[in-house]
Structure 1
């Protein structure tokens, strides 16, 4: 057991416990893992009583400071194999019901084939939903990549396949099925994005926007990679960190037309002109000079744009503008 515990499928009610488990480093020297996995190779189930004595439980930090603190004295693990990998389904029991008995363990062990089937179907279900999302994004000309809870790529839409074939020297797929960036700083940003998506704190992930990251290229404008969590589309119990990565090639993305911005975002002509210049890559100061307005006027104009677009920073505004559908051509 290690930090991957925060990313495996789990009941929603265990979310805070698992977050505590990872943040507190409880996966280090965990007696259940060290004693339990060897037993699971030959047994149909393992109980807490098989892993520790009553005397030990009075002193074990993991048991007292983690599980008892969260109110879960009882434990059972049911092993099964899926795609050649060993899994186990751990269950916790609250103080009201206490420990699992061996009789209950024998009954629960009969369901191991069903647990394996549930895990398999859950994975298939989440991937089908994700691929449906990829197809929809193809129709609005967005390059999209589906990743699973381990950060492995599970599919591309046609737009993403074409883009990656074109920019393979900047963003590439390794032999393990993970997306990587060639540029060292871009690779650090990409891995930090994966780490954010793998977090078990669903509430924070929904409340806080995950900012797009930049993938630098030596001879072209950068790529922007934005992550969209599939929480809400796929049950967190079955796919806690499935996400879609949206990739924008800034060499390809058209600068929005002034009239289009006025219509879609209800901007004034002056505000739309400023947005167009900033989308083209100018800083606020450069755009102000181009429009022959003072820095104070440019800042005031930008403040009005922020209010109308419900953004707070220039990076958020540019991200929003990059996601606008293109203007229809007659």
Structure 2
């Protein structure tokens, strides 16, 4: 079912709704500040960048009003924006997207077939999950035709921090930084060795050096530290 945003902070939410409520408040904040000409992230950049995940703004006709760089990075032959339309290769996912858009003409939320996100199959990768977060009238931006924020969640291993950033922060060598980026997402040194096409012994030696430079002693400590980057 489509989740609807309300521009208020005084509603009660149980623990299962905390993430939804936090994203709702963020969307309201972005919408209000964007209409006022301010940038929620304080950088003068794209307001959608502060959503923290791939996101698109969808209008009443299903057109794509705007999308952020994180969403653009996911576009391929299975899912892409052309001429302000989100083109989805898979017929079932495309039909479910259309059903959601048809609900935009109603003022109140209406139930849709199934409560799950739209699963968008991809040929060479795991699927991506698309969710609609409909905006109430006071949150619609940059035009009154906008009806929903659509978020995309690609399945699969999450990318670690950029190796160049890790190298700069912790004085890691380029090879150590690449290894640390893989370790940061929860993979072990043996998996990292396969990805980097190096021996397990080399990976373990580099990991010891990373421990020393980051003042950590175990992989769990290192992952917790890198998660802050």
Report the TM-score when normalising by structure 1: 0.32
Indicate the structure (1 or 2) with the bigger Cα radius of gyration: 1
**Which gives a bigger RCO, structure 1 or 2 (Cα 8 Å, sep 6+)?**
2
Which protein is richer in helix relative to its size?
1
